[in-house]
Amino acid sequence: MVLATHNKGKQREYELLSGNAPIALRGLSEFEEVPLPDEEGRTFEEIATKKARAVSMMLGVPALADDSGLAVEALNGAPGVLSARYAGESADDYQNNHKLLEEMRGRENRKATFYCAIALAKPGGLVLNYAGRCSGIILDEPAGAHGFGYDPIFYYPPLRKTFAQLSPEEKNSVSHRGQAMRKFLNDLERILTWLGDR
């Protein structure tokens, strides 16, 4: 199935997460240029569902889409579905992290939750949804070089490290995306049957 993302960080994590499963995930880059729908939906589930449905229809193959983001309690859930472009339309990870640290300067409540919504669509068919979440603390400054996005400033108390200080395997074992993907993989046998039906 095609993984409906242009995000290399997400693609690496999905390849690792699906390593032993009897499915082959192919990135969008292997297909001709596919424009993703605008990320106008307000919830992670909505956006992932729209993406999966649009890509599976355009390409005529099953499509798995992921919409994820960080919701910070003191910021009323921001950056939320705008996580990837918090500092602007073409912002990179550094700029987004910088903006979030500025917004959080001096705030006492530093609780935040990463959310991940996965949607699987088959062409003209129904959509399956899976979700995961992981809570932690926003640090005052970045630490660690692994991962992507807000990983360097997201401290995960049970492991006493930021997500960027964890190996990819360690991150996947606890992360929002790892949890959502494990739910997906738990259903895999039934999913493959469903994909094979008419």
Residues with catalytic roles: 67
Work out which of 39, 73, 103, 170 binds a copy of itself, going by CB under 8 A.
73
Q: Which among 14-22, 58-66, 71-79, 143-151 is the span making contact with a copy of itself, rule CB under 8 A?
A: 71-79
In the region spanning residues 133 to 152, those forming contacts with a copy of itself, defined by CB under 8 A, are 133
Helical H segments across 21-153, by residue range: 44-59, 93-104
> Which backbone phi and psi does 79 adopt, to 5 degrees?
-75, -15
The residues with which 68 forms a beta bridge, in sequence order, are 116
Site track 108-127 with a copy of itself (rule: CB under 8 A), x = hit: -----x-x-x-------xxx
Antiparallel, parallel or unpaired: β 63-72 and 2-3: parallel
- d(CA 174, CA 151) in angstroms, rounded, equals 13
Among the listed residues 169, 172, 133, 182, the one whose alpha carbon sits nearest the alpha carbon of residue 21: 182
Beta carbon of residue 27, minimum distance to a copy of itself (angstroms, whole number): 25
| DSSP for 96-129, written as a single string | HHHHHHHHHTT-S--EEEEEEEEEEE-TTS-EEE
Q: Total residues at the site for a copy of itself (CB under 8 A)?
A: 24
Is residue 90 involved in binding a copy of itself (CB under 8 A)? no
Is residue 42 involved in binding a copy of itself (CB under 8 A)? yes
Beta carbon of residue 16, minimum distance to a copy of itself (angstroms, whole number): 24
- Cβ-count burial of 157 within 10 angstroms (0-12 exposed, 13-18 middle, 19+ buried)? exposed
Beta carbon of residue 122, minimum distance to a copy of itself (angstroms, whole number): 10
Is residue 77 involved in binding a copy of itself (CB under 8 A)? yes
Is residue 107 involved in binding a copy of itself (CB under 8 A)? no
Among the listed residues 42, 69, 51, the one whose alpha carbon sits nearest the alpha carbon of residue 6: 51
- d(CA 139, CA 126) in angstroms, rounded, equals 41
Beta carbon of residue 161, minimum distance to a copy of itself (angstroms, whole number): 23
- Per CB under 8 A, residues contacting a copy of itself are 42-43, 45-46, 73, 76-77, 113, 115, 117, 125-129, 131, 133, 187, 190-191, 193-194, 197-198
